Amino acid sequence: MKKLQLRIITSIFAGLFLGLFVFTSCEGPEGPAGKDGLNGTDGTPGLNGDVTCLVCHNADLKNQITVQFARSQHASGAIAVEYAGGRAACAQCHSHDGFVEWTLNGEVASDIADPKAWECSTCHDLHNTFDSTDYAFRVEGAVAMLDGSGATVDEGNNNLCINCHQARTGRASFDKDPTTYTRTFSGADYEVYKNTTAIGPNGSVTVDEVNMTVEVVFDVPTGYSYISSTHAGPHHGPQGNIWAGIGGTVAGVPYASHSGGCVGCHMGPESNHSFMPLAENCDACHGSKETEMDEIAERIQLVGEALEGIHAVHFSEEDGLFHPVYASLSTEHFDAWFNFMYLLEDRSHGAHNPTYYKAMLTQCETALGI
């Protein structure tokens, strides 16, 4: 019985071996030709991925950008840590952490305990297409402006900048129902408000020379508006609004004649990632505009002095700047103050939109009798 089983098993293995020999020894008919008629050829090989990346991501360029960025205000930790980077309402633009959270979630949910200053990955995300136009910005779409105008601005690569470099407050937000506001000032504010006259038609000033305090009742009737804070105004970066010709109290138009925008002027070959608006970046196309800009700067200074004369702003010897003060102003004077704050905070002396600048300056000068 055992010998019979052995013969059966031997026969099975012999059959399998013979079959394997047949299948591997006999070649069937030739199949179709490969792509382009060449067996195993898929086409011309592409560029090496490492070579493509190293066009930008090489040590020399990286070191150059690092040095440039270190000169930028965006790299200043003081702006993020000491200013407003930790507050949820401000962190979207005042810290790396906040901006990234906003781009991912559409909001900054809570205060940030240890905010960091901006870095490369604040503005730049992973690449999408890996071609010469793919700079991998975190946000690229049109920007809904925050000034209450309802405007949407779409300036291509400049949109990344405009998301933060725009006003937070519109003129209409200062118009309230007729009312009065009472405030008491002391310390350094004592001298500022002791002789104030911007209190409205029926306002009052009560000075306590013993305790060196002053109580001011600001009357804000119909036809008046109230400067409600020493930080009142459009906010510190309304450059996007000026560029788009919106936000002030006079009609404006976009600065459409200039196609470069933020990137063209602030990232020219002489400045790049320092974002410094050097004259060399502009003169090649425009020639020198320093005389015209100096004239606009002088007009802004005269408007500031006139507003200080009606107690709408205060000039600080400490930092050499004009600052808002609490005041009740007629609509015409308030509009002049609001336009002045736009121009002051924009800090371009007309470069961001010369036509709009001059229109707002004219309104200020007319209202203040300059």
The pLDDT value given to residue 32:
55
d(Cα 156, Cα 154) in Å, to the nearest integer? Answer: 6
Task: List, for residues 239-290, the tens digit of each pLDDT value.
Answer: 999 999 998 999 888 776 565 788 888 888 888 999 988 777 777 666 667 7
pTM (2 decimals)?
0.81
Task: List, for residues 29-75, the tens digit of each pLDDT value.
Answer: 555 554 554 554 455 665 566 667 888 888 898 899 999 999 998 88
Task: List, for residues 176-235, the tens digit of each pLDDT value.
Answer: 899 999 999 999 899 989 988 899 999 999 999 999 999 999 999 999 999 999 999 998
Task: List, for residues 158-185, the tens digit of each pLDDT value.
Answer: 999 999 999 999 999 999 899 999 999 9
The pLDDT value given to residue 8:
37
The pLDDT value given to residue 325:
96
pLDDT band at 81 (very low <50, low <70, confident <90, very high): low
The pLDDT value given to residue 25:
41
Give the whole-number percent of the chain exceeding pLDDT 90: 52
d(Cα 117, Cα 49) in Å, to the nearest integer? Answer: 32
Residues 6+ apart with CB under 8 A from 103: 125, 138, 139
C-alpha distances in Å from residue 317, one per residue of 127, 190, 320, 323: 48, 16, 5, 11
Q: Is 160 in contact with 138 (CB distance < 8 Å)?
A: yes
Q: Which residue has the tokens 């600065």?
A: 255
Q: Which residue has the higher pLDDT, 36 or 146?
A: 146
For the chain, which residues make up each domain, given as ranges?
57-138, 179-221
d(Cα 291, Cα 359) in Å, to the nearest integer? Answer: 18
